[in-house]
Amino acid sequence: MTTPKCQTSPEDSGDAMSRASQPRRERKRRRYLGPVAVVFGLLSVPTLAGEAATGGAVRDGQHDFDFNLGTWKIDVQRLLHPLTGSKNWVTLEGTKVVRKIWGGRAQVEEVEADGPNAHLENMGLMLYNPKSHQWSVSFVNSSDGIFSPPPMIGEFKNRRGEFFDSETYDGRAIVVRIAWSDFTPTTHHLEQSFSEDGGKSWESNLKVTLTRVPDGTRQVVPTADPEPAGQHDFDWQLGSWSVHMKRLQHPLTGSTTWTELDGKVIVRPIWNGRANLAEITSEGPSGKLEFLSLRLFNPKTHQWSLNFASSNSGELSTPMVGRFKDGRGQFYDYEPVNDRMTLARFTFGDITSGASRDEQAFSVDGGQTWETNWITTATRIDTSSQGSR
């Protein structure tokens, strides 16, 4: 049940808010330890309150994004051709819907906006790191279903949240900043800026005003375009499931000791089924696990990516990529395990209307042999969200 584990400039249309709208397209990839590391860590939740700490204690910011929850009308101004001296701005309007995960220690937001010759759908994933007391923010556009690495990292101070990364834009190395500010119960602002001189000076290229509206205001309008093959391959998993998990304690060491856990998985659709979010909780002798799996469909390649995160790390894993064929889904990536690069495979099989089985396995010989290290059997709890493939 999914438990463990462009080299072009921004387009002048169609990609207007993809990153907070995601104006970045050229990327330096930053590699993370994959699904096994994300899931094998146990939940660790700070005990401080979400306000500024006193007495020298480290400030806990796990509720700093609470202002963002709900449904918002968005008014967007975007500068065309940043870092060229351009003064040409375009305007878009749309809605943003934000829901919390892990009691607010993570969020997923869906954005839909329209402007001159542009329609876009994008998603933001906010993850809190309880060790660094910082947040990571990652964005993905529905046009390709690929997260834009690396995530932006930052925190909130004095009622302002600033997040940074370094990346390549139009062939040049730059620093990118996104800032949230001017918070009221019904409004706030977001601004994105680029710097070519290491943060000494900044050029703003994206300004967003958000105004709260009643939940349910946003209406998802299905596209009239033909649906690409594979877009609904995960529909069978929508809904709630009880799960039993078996985890090999020390993969690739000759270990035969397994740990068992029991839990629950809730899978919800995003982008009218072209993405979905699985929230997983489980407990066993080794403790409690709390993690998510965000599955994204790429309409260009007709493949899916599995993106994992655990509540105790606040990091998004390297995606596993694959597809379904003959009722079986297989997904792969190449990642370090025990400091050794390892081929990882995740498989969905034995799928019926009320049950399924998935496995994770590792290979150190390029896929010739595999060692299974995670087995999950799932039983549907409800049928209200059940889809068909």
Residue 11's pLDDT band (boundaries 50, 70, 90)? very low
The answer to whether residues 62 and 204 belong to one domain is: yes
Of 155, 180, 213, the residue that ends a domain is 213
Is residue 226 domain-resident?
Answer: no
Angstrom distance (rounded) from CA 214 to CA 58 = 36
Residues 249 and 168 in one domain: no
Question: Which DSSP string corresponds to 290-353?
Answer: EEEEEEEEETTTTEEEEEEEETTT--BPPPEEEEEETTEEEEEEEEEETTEEEEEEEEEES--S
Structural domain total, the chain: 2
pLDDT of residue 77: 95
Same domain, 242 and 141: no
| Of the candidate ranges 3-12, 156-165, 170-179, the one whose mean pLDDT is the lowest | 3-12
| Rounded Cα–Cα distance for residues 66 and 291 (Å) | 19
In a domain, 265, yes or no: yes
Give a yes or no: residue 25 inside a domain. Answer: no
Is 351 a member of any domain? yes
Mean pLDDT over 139-155 rounds to 89
Residue 107 pLDDT: 96
Do 241 and 184 fall into the same domain?
no
Q: What range does the domain containing 241 cover?
A: 235-380
Residues 114 and 176 in one domain: yes
Question: Does the pLDDT of residue 239 top 80, yes or no?
Answer: yes
Which residue, among 258, 301, 309, 20, has the nearest Cα to 137 in the 3D structure?
20
Q: Domain check: are 176 and 249 in the same one?
A: no
- 100 and 171 housed in the same domain: yes
Q: How far apart are the first and last CA of the chain?
A: 16
Percent of the chain topping pLDDT 90: 69
Whether residue 5 has pLDDT greater than 70 = no
Report whether 5 contacts 35 (CB < 8 A).
yes
Domain assignment of residue 129, yes or no: yes
CATH of the domain at 203: 2.40.128.20
- Say if residue 10's pLDDT is above 60: no
In this structure, is residue 208 part of a structural domain? yes
Task: Mark whether 203 and 59 lie in a shared domain.
Answer: yes
Q: Is residue 60 part of a domain?
A: yes
Same domain, 181 and 282: no
What is the per-residue pLDDT across 349-374, written as a single tens digit (0 to 9) for each? 999 999 999 999 999 999 999 999 99
Residues 191 and 244 in one domain: no
User: Quick check: is 133 in a domain?
Assistant: yes
The reply to whether 172 and 122 lie within a common domain is yes
DSSP SS3 for 234:
coil
The model's confidence at residue 217, banded by pLDDT at 50, 70 and 90, is confident
Q: Are residues 367 and 285 in the same domain?
A: yes
Region 253-261: mean pLDDT is 94
Tens of pLDDT, residue by residue over 58-112, are 778 999 999 999 999 999 999 999 999 999 999 999 999 999 999 999 999 999 9
Would you give the distance in Å from CA 366 to the centre of its chain?
28
